[in-house]
Structure 1
Amino acid sequence: MVPPKKVAIIGAGPSGLVTAKTLLHSFPEGTFIPSVFEKNHRIGGLWPAGISSHGGDQPQINPWIRTNLSRFTVAFSDLAWESVVGEEELSMFPQARQVGMYLEKYAGLYIPKGVLRLGKEVVRTVREVDGVGGRWTVQWVSKRVDGDGVLCEGSEVESEQFDYLVVTSGYFAKAHFPDIPGLASVADKVVHSSEVQTTNGVQQLLERTGSKGGKVVVIGGSMSGVEAASTVALNLSTMDFRPPVVQSGREFEVHHICSRPFWTVPTYLPHTGFQDTKDSQITQFLPLDFVFYDLARRPPGPVEYNLTPLSTQQIRKSNAYFRSLLGDDYAKIGSFGIDSNENDDPQPPWIAIGDDYAEYVRSGFIKVTIGRVSSIDSSSTLTITLPNSEQQTISDITAIITATGYTPFSALSFLSPSVLSTLEYSTKDPFLPLILDGKGTSHADIPDLGFVGFYRGPYWGAMEMQARSLASTWARDSGPYFSHEQLLQRSTERDFLRSLRSNNQGSHRSQFPMGDYIGLMESLARDLNIPRAPISTNDPDSNPNPSPVIPSRYIPSPFLTHNPEDRLSTLVDRQRTSTLQSLQNTIIPGPSNYNLGMGNTIFRALHGAWKYTRTITTTTMSSSSTTSIFPTTPHPTSPSSTTTTTGHATFHPRRTSSPGYEKEYVYDEIPTESLKSKTRSIYRLVEGTWSKTNGQILIWNVDMDPYHAGSFSHGVIVGLAEEKDEKAEVGMGRYVVRATAGGIPIQRERAFEPRYEYVFVLEGVSVVEWVCLLRERVGGGGGGVVVSRTVYTR
């Protein structure tokens, strides 16, 4: 009988937990005995389990920030979000605190408490070679929390031997500050982007500098740069629209400096490929991961994992795809440094996710420069080297935010120099600090050492697949060996990674060295003989395997101990079924499918300034007369009067002024003929499913207090997008979205209910024109009707 294999797992974040679960439950009982070492006194890594957490020195994500991928991708295959969060709070993009709750639920279901060794910091590992494999001695110190909640390290070093070691200690171990000449001379003005995850963090930064204005500079592209610049812009906008207004946000400027061309992408994107309908094609706005991880985007046949640098043709094709997907209007404000490279040898653009960033650029709150910061002098003047080698300066700097990511180096400190040497460890390359094979899971020369989630962009499905790949190799009775063909394949994979590393300063290195998520999932599933589960539809002729790629579509069968009646097998099957049913309800329109993505898209795209023309018609008319947003033939009416006004309207973003709402605008409307006749409303975006009745966009009148919502006006219930509409006279590449009012309070004393109708014309992800029609009956049953039709354009 083969004795159980002892496995030490370093880190209790998502990758550590899924590794432990896989070792425990994907093989016959007793195959593995895992132990998870975690230096903090809680699980979850960067993900907090509540609003505040104690007992750890590792930085955490702001509990209220939302994930930038949907709950279907930020999940494991065997735990549905519906089992963690109640329906009233269930959102497409969970908050970080909810992700922490998810991980706690996951550990409670699948990992016995004895497996988790919390408060144990691994300080050293020693590998002793024994035949084909080796033995690992793991050394750690215990951390305890005293009565005041202060962490204290134990002085005694403990140790234990294991057959295998898995590094799951994370890629985001320590904040990285760039090596810019002169940066240290202005250290009192410099913070890392992790310190300004909230508007309160931004306010504290501005108060610390004591400045009454000036420039806030964000250095660094990718995700964190866009997020930091947007957070600062929201804080500055709020300063003008929340009492007491002691200083205008317009006294500051936000400058974002990025060394690479990039696209900023909103969280919901248009997609037409998942429906069953044959007669008409309806465009939905779905989470961006549904669109990007759509198998239909890959060529027919088996999907291969792509690890090679991008060619010029691929880069141009990618830019063309984004331009067609997002639309020309959005491309003007959401792409940076792209066009200037198209005729030469273009760099692969970076992708950043942000709902508000592009509109802040349109409104002037954020100014973008593509270039590298070459120096900073003591008088707070920053010099930028542009792509054409010219130089540009920014002076009067109030604060500098380095959105330059994290380094993984401290997460590898427990590995010995000889092991790191075999792994070709380099502190000069935070993108590729190690050269690994097995799709990032191992190195053929150290087969008893594994890695899970150790690369930029550790999507949860990829972590799970990596854990399965390691476990399946180690479960073999004969030991972790590879065939000659497998060794050649792994050697070739390492060669590809070396070429990417040597191209560190070159123009064809992509943002994420292992960013081919679809290829990684599909190729690992094929290696492990895991079938991709179909998504059932009502159309027998439809694609039997519609996308997107999500973890719950990849579960080994049979899952557990070769006993289909096993309680845990039943649990896994129930969780996967719940997730796949929820996915089907999301991607296939139906009477019960609330169009969450469209409401979010409309609200996001209203941000900023508009011109409007309003026509008000007062008519004494018969009960059969009607008025629509796009009138065709006039109806016979009694005498009427018509007036037309023009003006400007602006949606100003601010921090939500009342709990329970996702985002908020202050809407100001100023007529051209009377600049003092300002009208103000408050628009709020609601997340979650409870907004089905009232609408996802809720509107309040502003009464006496100009800063607070007064009486509720109505909600906006948004429909699906139609690609063609003869009345609206829009062409291909544009969508028409109709909306009606919800939650209108009936004014019983006047015996009428105002009727609102909306039509939004979208180009890509931008609203380029929209119409609001309000019809009210006046004078009781024998009176007339006042119709207000307002057309908004950019």
Structure 2
Amino acid sequence: MTNAIKTVCVVGAGPSGLAAAKTLLHDAPDGVKYNVTIFESQPRVGGLWPVKKADEAGLVHPAMVANQSKHTMRFSDFAWPDGAPQIPRAFQVGGYLERYRQRYCQDATLRLACRVEKADLVSNPSSQSGHYWHVKTQSEENGIEEHKFDYMVIASGYFGEPAFPASVENTKHVIPVVHSSKYRDLEQLLGDPKGKSGKILVVGGQFSGVEIAGTIATHVSDAVNAPGPRRNNFIDQNSQRSKFSVHHLVQRPTWILPLVTASTPADPAPCFLPIDLNAQNLSNRPPGPLVNTQGHISVEAARVVNSYFHNLLQTDQSEFSPRLTVQESDYDNQPFLGLSDTYMDHVRSGAIVVSQGRLDSISGNIANLASSEEQIEDIAAVVLATGFKASASLSFLSEEIQQKLSIAPKDLNNTVALAFHSTHHPEVPNLGFVGFYRSPYWGAIEMQARFVTALLSYGGPSSPSLPTKLAESLKNDTSIERVLSLRTDPRASQFPMGDYAWLSQEFGIALDIEKVPALSKMPILPPSNKEMNVLTAASYPGRNLDESRRKENERNLTGTEEVVIGGITQGRFVARAVFRSLLGEWKLDRQLVSQKPEQPSGRFIGTATFSLRNGTSHGREEEFAKIEKEGGDQGFEYLYVENGEFVDEAKGLRFNATRRYIWRYNERKDKLSVWFVKTDEDRTADYLFHEVDFIPPSEGGKGEDGWKAIGSHLCIEDMYNVQYRFSFSSVNLQEWRLGYSVKGPRKDYSIDGVYRR
């Protein structure tokens, strides 16, 4: 190591680039200093993540709900602000990154809207490393510029540019064909929909395909069910239904999980936590050093994981659609996973129709499937969720360096062959990589940044100055061979680089960073019957933290532990799980018993439909305005409509009946509420009926028949006391009951209704 200040070029200002810059500036070994310049092609930091609601230029819709919680989407020594949602929107993630930049990267030179066009490694015998980087950039403000750096860290990531099927790329179409990263809303996709109708075809069955299909189906539902003037260009005037439907083309069955999953899935009143907190409970891993569960998936391993997902969901998914069924005969194949709060129930309701096959071509408004004569007709638009080319993020490197990195543009999962978990290549000195990791765990990004900083600081992978543990880890590393073998492995996993917990362990060993224990006594859960041991980035704090960073790390650890304890012991997230699982149609059987002879008693049989739409301000204008001002989001709500027949045999009464409510979920309060609908505007909320208060487990809220909740409402002099019971099969409501007892000078009756799928 030397005391001379070294210059570093960081390519990209997303999570990886900012983590790299921060680590170089604040976590280098004693005596090492860096002068860091960050180049970002966009006019803002954040990479994929927009920093404002109105930011439409990036690859992610600003309102997209992240598929991990804030406990995963943060770094070890920087906490989210109080009141931030557990599962943030994309623009909120971008806001976190901008605050992270302001906290840790002020000493870096940030060049926004400045693209790296070319980077060459130049021999320089007078320097310690023997090379320097000659970097050419281009910006609208300064044109072409040339720079010289001692080191370069590439943090431009896997999302270089959208990938299109060969049969579709560079082909003109008579209908809109867009990549999923460019979808924003129905109007932008369809243009003026007047006179149009048909199917919106989503192609691709992995994460982005599942997410975008659920998003579009929600937008279609909102177009029909939102209050205010009817969006007649989207609605069939005869049926009052949408003129557009969503069709999803997938190649294989995929396990679909919601964003909050059951920690005790076999319990009819399960406890719930964000999916990443349940998934990273290390107490469920075998004892001893962790073993990698990703990469090549043997038949035995595939059976274990597929069985795990079946037990986690308590279903083979056939209840939603036969084409989503993961049969036992599929268990030999490596499992694939998708995440969405809305997708499965949109499929169950028919809002999304699933087809299996591979897109071959698009002819007019017809999609032709490969290896069959099957076609999907009457297509209004196509959204391609077909991934990204990481090779575009490396196109500025010379052909010679690209060859050394074994770049394979057509392999979207194993694009570049790098050593020690995608951090460097021994034949390309002065070059590090951060964020070439196809998974959403920011802790792995932070570990890569620490590793690259250490590697550069100690003189590179062959330096005799390397600490013993770092040198030993490099000596035993087989990452390059592993990536090359996975390119031709038919049993490669969905995320082949390595599982997050194992990577954290391996980086921790190399960097001599130990995982810290929990600060609180954690709940005990089956099947391990051990205290929960949830892994987040904060579990591996950096070394030599100052007091401010130490407090931020403790704040992260404490925040996660409070959420886990609240979910397991206090029923936190149950309201969210109920709200998510209501979507779609239910069979309703209700008994009404009146104590007043002049009022009817009888039975109502019909259906109750929960139609998802964007949250509205009606009835809660002040609260709505406050959250908007604070940069929050109102989420979603349901328009509840029941229709059926009421029969009072004793009085000889028989008539059709209907009623409407608005159901809402307030994430900040973790509270469900039910609202009356205006009599003259049948899609507009009027005023609050009641809030749904779940009874804590300590007070008998959990039982063998599900979760219990109560509510109340005083209507002039008549008091409505409301009782609920929600019975789950893992994450999905199987049955729920709603009963009222109404007493007052004018009313004295009770209602007991049961809702079943």
With normalisation by structure 1, the TM-score equals: 0.83
Q: Distance between the aligned counterparts of 2:24 and 2:36, measured in 1?
A: 7
Give the corresponding residue for 1:34.
Answer: 36
Displacement of 1:397 in angstroms is: 1.4
Displacement of 1:701 in angstroms is: 3.4
Give the corresponding residue for 2:441.
Answer: 459
Question: 1:376·1:382 contact (CA, 8 Å) conserved in 2?
Answer: yes
Q: Distance between the aligned counterparts of 1:13 and 1:422, measured in 2?
A: 26
Q: Distance between the aligned counterparts of 1:538 and 1:298, measured in 2?
A: 19
Query: Over residues 536-591 of structure 1, what are the superposed CA-to-partner deviations in whole Å (9 max), with x where a residue is unaligned?
Result: 334799999732210011113333xxxxxxxxx11111111111111121111399
1:762 aligns with 2:738: no
Query: Over residues 443-466 of structure 1, what are the superposed CA-to-partner deviations in whole Å (9 max), with x where a residue is unaligned?
Result: 122242111001322521110000
Question: 2:270·2:730 contact (CA, 8 Å) conserved in 1?
Answer: no
One-letter identity of the residue aligned with 2:662: I
Give the corresponding residue for 1:140.
Answer: 136
Give the corresponding residue for 1:194.
Answer: 181
1:126 aligns with 2:144: no
Give the corresponding residue for 2:634.
Answer: 661
Q: Distance between the aligned counterparts of 1:318 and 1:49, measured in 2?
A: 37
Equivalent residue for 2:54, pick from 52, 58, 61? 52
Give the corresponding residue for 1:564.
Answer: none
1:296 aligns with 2:257: no
Question: Could you say if the C-alpha distance between residues 339 and 169 of structure 1 is closer, same or farther in structure 2, counting changes exceeding 3 Å?
Answer: closer
Question: 1:165·1:448 contact (CA, 8 Å) conserved in 2?
Answer: yes
1:100 aligns with 2:63: no
Query: Over residues 264-292 of structure 1, what are the superposed CA-to-partner deviations in whole Å (9 max), with x where a residue is unaligned?
Result: 1101111149xxxxxx9984210000111
Give the corresponding residue for 2:661.
Answer: 681
1:423 aligns with 2:405: yes
1:739 aligns with 2:721: no
Displacement of 1:184 in angstroms is: 2.1
Structure 1 residues 119-268: aligned runs within 5 Å: 119-129=113-123, 133-143=129-139, 152=140, 154-162=142-150, 164-180=151-167, 184-186=171-173, 188-197=175-184, 201-208=185-192, 211-242=195-226, 243-246=229-232, 247-248=235-236, 249-268=241-260
Q: Secondary structure at the match of 1:286?
A: strand
Displacement of 1:664 in angstroms is: 1.3
Equivalent residue for 1:716, pick from 692, 703, 707? 692
Give the corresponding residue for 1:78.
Answer: 77
Give the corresponding residue for 2:551.
Answer: 574
Q: Distance between the aligned counterparts of 2:31 and 2:321, measured in 1?
A: 52
Question: 2:523·2:565 contact (CA, 8 Å) conserved in 1?
Answer: no
Q: Distance between the aligned counterparts of 2:605 and 2:43, measured in 1?
A: 61
Displacement of 1:441 in angstroms is: 0.6
Question: 1:761·1:769 contact (CA, 8 Å) conserved in 2?
Answer: yes
Q: Distance between the aligned counterparts of 1:112 and 1:181, measured in 2?
A: 44
Structure 1 residues 619-634: aligned runs within 5 Å: 619=595
Query: Over residues 631-660 of structure 1, what are the superposed CA-to-partner deviations in whole Å (9 max), with x where a residue is unaligned?
Result: xxxxxxx99984222221111112333356
Structure 1 residues 498-517: aligned runs within 5 Å: 498-503=484-489, 506=490, 508-517=491-500
Q: CA RMSD in A?
A: 3.2
Structure 1 residues 606-625: aligned runs within 5 Å: 606-619=582-595
Consecutive unaligned residues in structure 2, runs of 5 or more? 618-623, 625-632, 647-653
Q: Secondary structure at the match of 2:36?
A: strand
One-letter identity of the residue aligned with 2:644: P
Question: 1:268·1:286 contact (CA, 8 Å) conserved in 2?
Answer: yes
Give the corresponding residue for 1:520.
Answer: 503
1:602 aligns with 2:578: yes
Q: Distance between the aligned counterparts of 1:579 and 1:344, measured in 2?
A: 40
Question: 1:610·1:649 contact (CA, 8 Å) conserved in 2?
Answer: yes
Question: Could you say if the C-alpha distance between residues 458 and 343 of structure 1 is closer, same or farther in structure 2, counting changes exceeding 3 Å?
Answer: closer
Identity %, equivalent residues: 31
One-letter identity of the residue aligned with 1:288: I
Q: Secondary structure at the match of 2:507?
A: helix
Displacement of 1:391 in angstroms is: 3.9
Question: Could you say if the C-alpha distance between residues 713 and 309 of structure 1 is closer, same or farther in structure 2, counting changes exceeding 3 Å?
Answer: same
Question: 2:65·2:89 contact (CA, 8 Å) conserved in 1?
Answer: yes
Question: 1:236·1:250 contact (CA, 8 Å) conserved in 2?
Answer: yes
Q: Distance between the aligned counterparts of 2:418 and 2:373, measured in 1?
A: 39
Question: Could you say if the C-alpha distance between residues 358 and 167 of structure 1 is closer, same or farther in structure 2, counting changes exceeding 3 Å?
Answer: same
Give the corresponding residue for 1:147.
Answer: none
Equivalent residue for 2:609, pick from 641, 647, 650? 650
Question: Could you say if the C-alpha distance between residues 558 and 395 of structure 1 is closer, same or farther in structure 2, counting changes exceeding 3 Å?
Answer: same
Question: Could you say if the C-alpha distance between residues 345 and 604 of structure 1 is closer, same or farther in structure 2, counting changes exceeding 3 Å?
Answer: closer
One-letter identity of the residue aligned with 2:214: S
Question: Could you say if the C-alpha distance between residues 245 and 541 of structure 1 is closer, same or farther in structure 2, counting changes exceeding 3 Å?
Answer: closer
Q: Secondary structure at the match of 1:509?
A: coil
Query: Over residues 285-327 of structure 1, what are the superposed CA-to-partner deviations in whole Å (9 max), with x where a residue is unaligned?
Result: 1000011122123211011334531111222222211111112
Displacement of 1:227 in angstroms is: 1.9
Structure 1 residues 778-789: aligned runs within 5 Å: 778-779=744-745, 785-789=748-752
Displacement of 1:676 in angstroms is: 4.6
1:376 aligns with 2:377: no
Give the corresponding residue for 2:61.
Answer: 62
Structure 1 residues 385-396: aligned runs within 5 Å: 385=370, 390-396=372-378
Give the corresponding residue for 1:632.
Answer: none
Q: Distance between the aligned counterparts of 1:409 and 1:534, measured in 2?
A: 39
Question: Could you say if the C-alpha distance between residues 589 and 189 of structure 1 is closer, same or farther in structure 2, counting changes exceeding 3 Å?
Answer: closer
Q: Distance between the aligned counterparts of 1:671 and 1:590, measured in 2?
A: 37
Q: Distance between the aligned counterparts of 1:711 and 1:33, measured in 2?
A: 58
Give the corresponding residue for 1:23.
Answer: 24
Q: Distance between the aligned counterparts of 1:21 and 1:74, measured in 2?
A: 16
Displacement of 1:173 in angstroms is: 2.1
One-letter identity of the residue aligned with 2:274: P
Q: Secondary structure at the match of 2:581?
A: helix
Q: Distance between the aligned counterparts of 1:648 and 1:121, measured in 2?
A: 57
Q: Secondary structure at the match of 1:497?
A: helix
Give the corresponding residue for 1:442.
Answer: 424
Question: Could you say if the C-alpha distance between residues 206 and 672 of structure 1 is closer, same or farther in structure 2, counting changes exceeding 3 Å?
Answer: farther
Displacement of 1:707 in angstroms is: 1.6
Displacement of 1:667 in angstroms is: 0.8
Query: Over residues 197-242 of structure 1, what are the superposed CA-to-partner deviations in whole Å (9 max), with x where a residue is unaligned?
Result: 4xxx223323346553222111112121112211221222223323
Displacement of 1:604 in angstroms is: 1.1
Please, which moves more after superposition, 360-369 or 321-330?
Answer: 321-330
Q: Distance between the aligned counterparts of 2:70 and 2:259, measured in 1?
A: 12
Q: Distance between the aligned counterparts of 2:673 and 2:522, measured in 1?
A: 33
Give the corresponding residue for 1:402.
Answer: 384
Question: Could you say if the C-alpha distance between residues 134 and 287 of structure 1 is closer, same or farther in structure 2, counting changes exceeding 3 Å?
Answer: farther
Q: Distance between the aligned counterparts of 1:241 and 1:281, measured in 2?
A: 32
Q: Secondary structure at the match of 2:719?
A: coil
Give the corresponding residue for 1:634.
Answer: none
Q: Distance between the aligned counterparts of 1:41 and 1:154, measured in 2?
A: 14
Give the corresponding residue for 2:352.
Answer: 366
Question: 2:422·2:479 contact (CA, 8 Å) conserved in 1?
Answer: no
Give the corresponding residue for 1:625.
Answer: none
One-letter identity of the residue aligned with 2:553: R
Q: Distance between the aligned counterparts of 2:416 and 2:522, measured in 1?
A: 47
Equivalent residue for 1:699, pick from 675, 681, 689? 675
Matched residues, number: 715
Displacement of 1:71 in angstroms is: 0.3
Question: Could you say if the C-alpha distance between residues 292 and 345 of structure 1 is closer, same or farther in structure 2, counting changes exceeding 3 Å?
Answer: closer
Displacement of 1:420 in angstroms is: 0.6
Question: Could you say if the C-alpha distance between residues 284 and 339 of structure 1 is closer, same or farther in structure 2, counting changes exceeding 3 Å?
Answer: closer
Q: Distance between the aligned counterparts of 1:136 and 1:763, measured in 2?
A: 60
Consecutive unaligned residues in structure 1, runs of 5 or more? 144-151, 274-279, 560-568, 621-637, 731-735
